[in-house]
């Protein structure tokens, strides 16, 4: 007889930004125990599931999660005792019903997700299988999008765009891709020092130097890639996360205080100019989260040549993704488990994207823990791409290192996604 859930415990811990988050220990009747913790975002979409915070200003500025922890201890845990961790979809459906709200605001998406992923880990361990195999048994190692320069809400450098990333599209393995990305990051640091600029790290481990405009960041990356000897556009390409919602005032886009605000068409023109000048293969959140008309313009203009990736637009939500697919908006979805609240719903969005020919990019958050679940998720679902942050800081490296281990476990069966991961049928 298979093991069932015997106990669920929770606690408040701190994430990489020093903000409280939820960690869960889940134990089975056969003695198997598993632990999971959840991330949180600084740049968040308004359509994300509710991350329950205490709001008590006397603790952590109101960001405490003792209420979410209490919900695991007093409501979720007792309700799960005796249930199977092997029927993930059934378990997650029960969690959703326990909460009973569309946005997971009663118990908290942070509470639900910690339990959901801990149950999956426990089931995998009890079965004697690696987590990636338990999640689907994929064998595609994802193409990493590695943060090199940060702006937006992730840095104080003044750049409107949030991330400037290295995409090692010409690599033949995940290990080689990581080596190439490391070389670009190292060369970028050298260029910054030579120019007398800061090499201090931003939120996700990228550099956050003061730069006047996005083109300046891209020029810096072009020089860094040249110094590595890698072929720009063939071996190493560039990606950007515009995160346009944070500089959208409801009708127009304000890239800088001294510049005239742009309408959606004007911002798309700017992005098209960058694509013309630089080997950009992916644009994330090029327009604001509810600017569907602007997204349609961007998709018609650039989707034939560039990955048009929705984060705040889709928020790992099957309903919003379905609208995008129906309207022909974007051609890729960023996947963040805590935007929706359970593992099953996350995997359903990946499968929904894959069925429609949309690419999927499994992503970390700005506030991370050393939990490496998303590495296994990316491989187990054959997602094809992963966006973790830079090659710095233990909460980022935990994911990269787990992917190296998985590639070793797969051996000759491992298939590296490479540039093919960027191509959709849309």
Catalytic residues: 204, 336
Q: CA 383, CA 283: separation in Å to the nearest integer?
A: 18
Element of type H or E holding 113: helix 109-127
Q: CA 128, CA 134: separation in Å to the nearest integer?
A: 9
- Please list the residues that pair with 26 across neighbouring strands: 8, 34
Residue 204, CA atoms < 13 Å, CB-side half-sphere: 29
Q: CA 426, CA 48: separation in Å to the nearest integer?
A: 25
In our burial notation (b when 16+ CB lie closer than 10 A, e otherwise), range 11-32 reads: bbeebbbebbbbbbbbbbeeeb
Residues 304-309: contacts with CB within 8 Å, 24+ apart? 305/275, 306/275, 306/280, 306/281, 306/282, 307/239, 307/281, 307/282, 307/283, 307/331, 307/332, 307/359, 307/422, 307/424, 308/283, 308/332, 309/282, 309/283, 309/284, 309/285, 309/333, 309/334, 309/359, 309/361
- 372: its two tokens: 């490496």
Give, as one character, the DSSP assignment of residue 208: -
Q: What is the phi/psi pair of residue 290, to 5°?
A: -120, 15
Q: Which residue has the tokens 């799960």?
A: 80
Please, is 223 exposed, middle or buried when counting C-beta atoms within 10 Å of its C-beta (0-12, 13-18, 19+)? middle
Alpha-carbon Rg of the chain, whole angstroms?
A: 21
Q: CA 409, CA 426: separation in Å to the nearest integer?
A: 33
Question: C-alpha 213: how far from its chain's center?
Answer: 24
Give ∠ CA 222-224-225 in degrees, rounded to 5: 65
Give residues with Cβ within 8 angstroms of 247, minimum separation 6: 152, 160, 253, 254, 255
């Amino acid at each position: 007889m298979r093991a069932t859930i015997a106990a669920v415990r929770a606690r408040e811990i701190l994430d990489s930004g020093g903000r409280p988050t939820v960690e869960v220990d889940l134990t089975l009747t056969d003695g198997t125990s598993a632990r999971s913790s959840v991330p949180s975002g600084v740049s968040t979409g308004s359509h994300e599931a509710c991350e329950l915070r205490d709001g008590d200003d006397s603790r952590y500025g109101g960001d405490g999660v003792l209420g979410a922890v209490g919900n695991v201890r007093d409501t979720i845990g007792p309700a799960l005792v005796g249930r199977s961790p092997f029927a993930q979809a059934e378990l997650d459906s029960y969690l959703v019903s326990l909460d009973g709200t569309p946005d997971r605001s009663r118990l908290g998406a942070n509470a639900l997700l910690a339990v959901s992923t801990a149950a999956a880990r426990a089931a995998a361990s009890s079965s004697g299988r690696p987590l990636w195999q338990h999640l689907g048994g994929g064998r595609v190692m994802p193409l990493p999008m590695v943060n090199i320069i940060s702006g937006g809400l992730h840095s104080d450098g003044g750049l409107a765009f949030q991330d400037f990333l290295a995409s090692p599209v010409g690599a033949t393995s995940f290990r080689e891709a990581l080596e190439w990305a490391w070389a670009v990051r190292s060369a970028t640091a050298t260029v910054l020092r030579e120019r007398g600029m800061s090499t201090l790290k931003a939120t996700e481990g990228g550099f956050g130097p003061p730069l006047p405009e996005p083109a300046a960041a891209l020029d810096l990356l072009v020089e860094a890639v040249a110094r590595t000897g890698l072929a720009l556009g063939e071996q190493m390409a560039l990606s950007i996360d515009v995160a346009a919602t944070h500089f959208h005032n409801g009708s127009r886009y304000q890239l800088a205080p001294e510049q005239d605000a742009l309408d959606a068409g004007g911002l798309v023109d700017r992005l098209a100019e960058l694509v013309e000048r630089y080997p950009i293969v992916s644009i994330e959140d090029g327009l604001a989260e509810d600017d569907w008309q602007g997204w349609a313009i961007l998709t018609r203009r650039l989707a034939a040549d560039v990955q048009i990736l929705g984060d705040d637009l889709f928020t790992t939500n099957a309903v919003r993704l379905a609208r995008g697919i129906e309207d022909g908006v974007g051609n890729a979805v960023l996947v963040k488990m805590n935007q929706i609240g359970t593992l099953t719903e996350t995997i359903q969005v990946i499968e929904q994207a894959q069925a429609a020919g949309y690419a999927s990019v499994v992503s970390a958050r700005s506030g991370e823990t050393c939990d490496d679940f998303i590495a296994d998720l990316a491989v187990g679902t054959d997602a094809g791409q992963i966006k973790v942050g830079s090659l710095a800081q233990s909460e980022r490296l935990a994911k990269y290192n787990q992917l190296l281990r998985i590639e070793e476990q797969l051996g000759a069966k491992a298939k590296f996604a490479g540039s093919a991961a960027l191509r959709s049928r849309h």
